[in-house]
Amino acid sequence: MGYLEGFGITLRQHRLFGGKRVTTSYSGGRRARKGKSTEGSDEKIDKPERLHGRHVLNRYEDGMEKCIGCELCAGVCPAKCIYVRGKDNDPENPTSPGERFGFVYEINYLRCIHCDLCVEACPTEAITESKMFEFSFTNRKDAIYTKAELVVDDSGKPKQLPWEDWREGEDLLTSGWMRATAAAGDASFVGEVGWSNELGYGVRSAEPKQAVADTPKTVKTISRGPANGHGGH
């Protein structure tokens, strides 16, 4: 029944049937309208700040890359879609501030499930995700993003490729979803910015506080009698 229901929603949103309904759960909030031409008739609704979209590799304000080639993102990826190889920095012309940098960095979007575990694992906030998630490929090669396509440009913005459907605002706040700001659970760090300046953005603001329900917690104590019904001493 679920398949038929989904198919019915797809038909209702088609412009030939006068579709005007926003079907967020099925098509990312795209809207179909009547008209002979589809140009300009496809809109997107606003996306959450922490949406998991296409990845970017960030750089520091001085232009150096944040990736240090540690391969933690590749190790934590459940879909095994990330391939990273590190390389020692040239002392005279370093790529990153550390001893090593990401010499090879590839993401296979035929496998990626956008779980964001790579962002959580990264120790330098090098890899983050944008709000853009609508992109299609005509061949498998385009689906494997290389480092040249993932590293942000000189303004700190993601590179927009021909097969990607970028809209206004989707290249902003590419790292809206980042780890907590409290270092090692120290309460004195709560609300403090815990990452370095980024190219084109400067220092990113800390995440807004989440509402916590003021619900008392109860702990139930279960007493267990002696094993096998025998008394103990």
CA distance 194 to 217: 31
Considering the four listed CATH numbers 3.40.50.720, 3.40.720.10, 1.20.1530.20, 3.30.70.3270, the one that applies to the domain covering 47-180+192-204 is 3.30.70.3270
% the chain with pLDDT above 90 = 31
Whether the Cβ atoms of residue 49 and residue 30 lie closer than 8 Å to each other: no
pLDDT at 204 over 70: no
CA distance 177 to 56: 13
> Could you tell me the residue ranges of all domains in the chain?
1-45, 47-180+192-204
Whether the Cβ atoms of residue 199 and residue 63 lie closer than 8 Å to each other: yes
Coil/strand/helix, residue 104: strand
Q: How does pLDDT run across 6-54, given as a tens digit for each residue?
A: 677 677 666 666 665 555 544 444 444 444 444 555 667 777 777 788 9
Whether the Cβ atoms of residue 87 and residue 69 lie closer than 8 Å to each other: yes
Mean pLDDT over 114-126 rounds to 89
Sheet holding 100-108, edge to edge: 82-88, 100-108, 144-145
Core vs surface per residue 5-14: b (16+ CB within 10 A) or e: eeeeeeeebe
Mean pLDDT over 111-120 rounds to 90
